[in-house]
Amino acid sequence: MPPSDRRYPDPAIRVLDPRFNALRIASASVECLYQGARWSEGPVWFGDGRYVLWSDIPNNRILRWDEESGQVGVFRKPSNNANGNTRDRQGRLVTCEHLTRRVTRTEYDGSVTVLADRFEGKPLNSPNDVVVKSDGSIWFSDPVFGIDGYYEGEKQEPQLRPCVYRVDGQSGEITKMIDGFVGPNGLAFSPDESVLYVVESRSTPRKIFAFDVLNGGRSLGEPRLLIDAGPGTPDGFRVDIHGNLWCGWGMGDVELDGVRVFTPQGEAIGHIDLPERCANVCFGGRHRNRLFMAASHGLYSLYVNTQGC
């Protein structure tokens, strides 16, 4: 698929508030990098190799797009129905796996280490999205999406409530951080890591909550509602250096498909139209100013006038 338009500025990049103009590049268009996935999720940038990895959950594989060649290949198959991906502070791949109901780390030699698969002796549900804090702790959401049926994993009865957990970077101790959410999903820290944002993706409407990070990152304050998504469907998201939230969006009305951009105060300022629903995003490229968007069947990108954290 070619860029959404052959003229600049790209009409797919919609300004909802004048503040979004500072984040746009007038001569940058939405680019489709790949088509052929069944459900794209969890993009992560590897600057040292100049490539993006992302999950194709129902096809049970992790794909790799190379910046230099533009080629796409299979990085891992089977992937255990991998969903969310990120990198730890040593650059290693951290992955949420639906089928095995665990969070893993891929070591430099390619071996896989299990970081979390149980809590208080009971199996996790289906780890979904994951972020790593600067202290090395791993935070992940654990809804039941992967055990609801046989499309993104295998149907199982949950033994734990959907929660958000923290894995200590030194001891490996697993702590429950958020309980009581209906479908905890995407999560990200503010640039200074003083706030954790979490999507509640099975409430009606969907919502994004903010939590103050307390006690050196070992506890959280009370949730406060940041964004009421209305008809929108936030899923995964990332934060730029200014604290803006770039959220996978869509499903429902076609004009909602793509990425919705919010200020740190939760005000919608921009939208990037895509021809399909976007599940998750990451920043990459040499200067971390290229937004990569995992959307349903494809992978898209857009250069922006900001940088990812």
Residue 185 labelled as part of a binding site: yes
Is 235 annotated to bind a ligand? Reply is yes
From CA 77, how far away is CA 61, in angstroms rounded? 5
Please tell me whether 41 is known to bind a ligand. Answer: yes
Contacts of 273 (CB under 8 A, 6+ apart): 4, 11, 12, 13, 14, 30, 255, 257, 258
Give the pair of three-digit tokens for residue 233: 């469907």
3-class secondary-structure state, position 217: helix
Q: How far apart are CA 61 and CA 295, in angstroms?
A: 16
Is-contact 270 15, C-beta < 8 A? yes
Please confirm, yes or no, whether 235 is among the known catalytic residues. yes
Neighbours of 193 (CB within 10 A): 14
* The one catalytic residue among 88, 235, 240, 273: 235
If 0-12 CB within 10 Å is exposed, 13-18 middle and 19+ buried, where does residue 130 land? buried
User: Known binder of ligand: residue 244?
Assistant: no
Rounded CA-CA distance 211/225 in Å is: 9
Contact 56, 62 (CB under 8 A): yes
* Binding-site positions for a divalent metal cation: 41, 185, 235
Query: Annotated catalytic sites, by residue?
Result: 235
* Binding-site positions for substrate: 128
* Binding-site positions: 41, 128, 185, 235
